[in-house]
Amino acid sequence: MNKKILAALLAVLIAGCGKSDAPTSAATPTSGAASGPAVSVSSVRAEQRDYQVQLEATGTVTALTSVEIRPQVSSTIEKIHIREGQFVRKGEPLFTLDSRADQTNVAKAQAQVQKDLASLADAERQLARSKELVAQNFVSQVAVDQNQTLVDAQRAAVAADRAAVEAARVAMSYSRIAAPITGRAGIVSVALGSLVSPSSPAMITITQLDPIAVAFSLPQRNLNDALQSLRSGGGSVIAVLPEGRGTLQGKLSFVDNAVDAGSGTVKVKALFDNAGDKLWPGAFVGVKMAVQTLKGAIVVPQAAIVQGARGKVVFVIEEGNKAAARPVEVVYAVGQDAVVTGVKPGDRVIVDGRQNVRPGTVVAERAQPTAGGKGGRASAPGESLPLPLAGEGRGEGASAGGPKP
């Protein structure tokens, strides 16, 4: 009996304690989002501005002109006027070949001219004498005609001799090899006294460096944009030098006449001024080409976009410092920026701390990150950002893509 009485007393005491705790329990908020301390976040305001869509590719620097220097006659090298790597202008001498045989041929041809000129003078005197005699009926007209034929033949021989002199002089001019273009010399592959011929390997290569071209490929879907840019004067093409050595501004100069069926791309070229020799033939550079401008676009940081089960959302800070989820559609996303629909200009979009935020969460906004801090900064209007050709976005949960039609 005593055990039963003690058990009953304990039950009554426990029930009394539960009733005394009931008010405390009822005072606890039922919403898990509003419970606990405010979540620390940072935000960036959504911008509305014209956004330039650019395509990014890897291009190869190619010279507009590159000439391999070979002799036009077989001879030995008498003198070398150039150093390897030297900058030369059109017409400057590069090599001098042994021209003694050609000089002899010129002298021989000139002597033949003098000989035939003497024969011509004699034929002309004979013709004049025969004309006088025929007037006095001492000779027939046949003799005059024969002398006239002889004069005409000698005149033709003199003309042929003079042409032979010019041919010999042309052959002799081949002994002086000059730069056909302005550019930079490559490796000199011959030495003094070397025997060279037209079939020999190139003696040196002269490459034009200014202006210079960058060849790259564009997706087939951007062919019309490239053609329109070409018709309007080439548009704007930027070459991004490796290792952060800056950029160069150029313009589109060529679009190929066919699309590569294997890759679905079209080859294009852009022309750049290269007075500082920043672009070198054969080097790889990044290329950015503007294809269109999105008018009045809403721009947010890519880092603010969260991929949810029902699509992409961003969290914005509403009145009362509470977070709200806004479904968005990414129109164009690349680099640090994303052009979206679903938010308004000026909305405070949460960037850092978004992973700890739920709809209705009370947030405490901390100081904005500096320009050199962790992502989440939307670029200022007109700022140039790295824009890949068709790459994925770097923001968490955000995928990049081209402009939607």
pLDDT digits (tens, 9 = 90+) for 52-67: 878 888 999 999 999 9
Q: Please report the beta strands in 83-163, taking only residues with DSSP state E, as ranges in sequence order.
A: 87-88, 93-97
pLDDT at 20 over 90: no
- Assign domain 44-62+209-365 one CATH number from 2.40.30.10, 2.40.30.170, 2.30.110.10, 2.40.37.10: 2.40.30.170
Report the pLDDT value the prediction gives residue 4, as an integer from 0 to 100: 56
* Tokens standing for residue 403: 């402009």
10 Å Cβ neighbour count for 338?
30
| Contact status, residue 330 vs residue 339, Cβ threshold 8 Å | yes
Tell me whether strands 265-272 and 247-255 are parallel, antiparallel or unpaired: antiparallel
> Strand, helix or coil at 367?
coil
As a whole number of angstroms, the distance between CA 129 and CA 58 comes to 85
Q: What is the pLDDT of residues 142-153, one digit of tens each?
A: 888 898 999 999
Q: Who has greater pLDDT, 311 or 12?
A: 311
Reference 226, options 246, 251, 255; nearest CA is: 255
Q: What is the mean pLDDT of the chain?
A: 82
| pLDDT at residue 199, rounded to an integer | 92
Tokens of 240: 């991004």
pLDDT higher than threshold 90 for residue 233? no
Give the pLDDT mean for 125-143: 86
Sort strands 306-308 and 311-318 into parallel, antiparallel or unpaired: antiparallel
Model pLDDT for residues 171-197, shown as the tens digit of each residue: 999 999 999 999 999 999 999 999 999
pLDDT band of residue 21 (cuts 50, 70, 90) is very low
Which pLDDT value is given to residue 109? 94
* CA–CA distance, 219 with 388 (Å, rounded to integer): 13
| Beta strands across the sheet bearing 87-88 | 66-69, 204-207, 183-185, 87-88
Q: pLDDT tens, 279-312?
A: 999 999 999 888 777 888 999 998 889 888 888 9
CA–CA dist 132, 124 (Å, integer): 13
Domain residue ranges of the chain, discontinuous segments joined by +: 44-62+209-365, 68-98+175-207, 99-173
Identify the pLDDT of residue 7: 58
Q: Which CATH number fits domain 68-98+175-207: 2.40.50.100, 3.40.1110.10, 1.10.10.60, 3.40.50.920?
A: 2.40.50.100
The CATH topology of domain 99-173 is Helix Hairpins (1.10.287)
Residue 365 DSSP SS3: strand
List Cβ neighbours of 124 (8 Å cut-off, separation of 6 or more): 151
Q: Do domains 44-62+209-365 and 68-98+175-207 have the same CATH topology?
A: no
Residue 244 has pLDDT above 90, yes or no: no
pLDDT digits (tens, 9 = 90+) for 345-390: 999 999 998 888 888 888 888 766 544 444 444 433 333 333 333 3
pLDDT of residue 13: 53
d(CA 223, CA 217): 10
Taking a C-beta distance cutoff of 8 angstroms, is the pair 161, 109 a contact? yes
Pairwise CA distance, residues 68 & 328, whole Å: 58
Token representation of residue 278 = 């920043």
